[in-house]
Amino acid sequence: MKKSIISVDEIKYALKEIVKQIDISGFNPEIIVSINRGGCIPGVYLSHFLNKPHKMVDIKSIDNQKISVNTLKKFKSALIIDDINDTGKTFTIVKETFDNTNADIRYAALINNISSKTKIEYHGQIINKKENPIWYVFPWENWW
């Protein structure tokens, strides 16, 4: 499978696109929640830019872990971010947990695969892995 190395500048551009989409939608999350590990760096960037608190949830789609709803217990709205919405498995697990709360929860990824089984509200870049199956490598995965 071909690889595409994502640059820091591409990350910043994707984050600016996400911020624009959030602004246009009128959404004002009370908290930014990153999906560990890929969502952590984008989540911290958004937390600083939007001046919102930040938390992290630890989930991997391959582990079938349960995550705690307590992460969002006191918040009425949250933005949950990951680096990529690839197959949709991770976002599906997160949505199954958090969509049962009364909070307005929306989802974002730097890269959104439109052939993913899970739809998200905000994205920095759109891809279609069915048409072009590329493996995306982020700066935090390949800095050494």
pLDDT in tens, 16-64: 999 999 999 999 999 999 998 999 999 999 999 999 999 988 875 445 5
CA angle (19, 21, 125) in 5-degree steps: 85
Which two tokens mark 125? 């870049």
Domain with 16 in it: what CATH number?
3.40.50.2020
pLDDT number for residue 100: 78
Tell how far CA 30 is from the center of its chain. 16
Question: Domain limits at 135?
Answer: 2-141
pLDDT in tens, 75-84: 899 999 999 9
Compute the distance between CA of residue 88 and CA of residue 81 in angstroms, rounded to an integer. Answer: 13
Number of domains in the chain: 1
Compute the distance between CA of residue 107 and CA of residue 120 in angstroms, rounded to an integer. Answer: 5
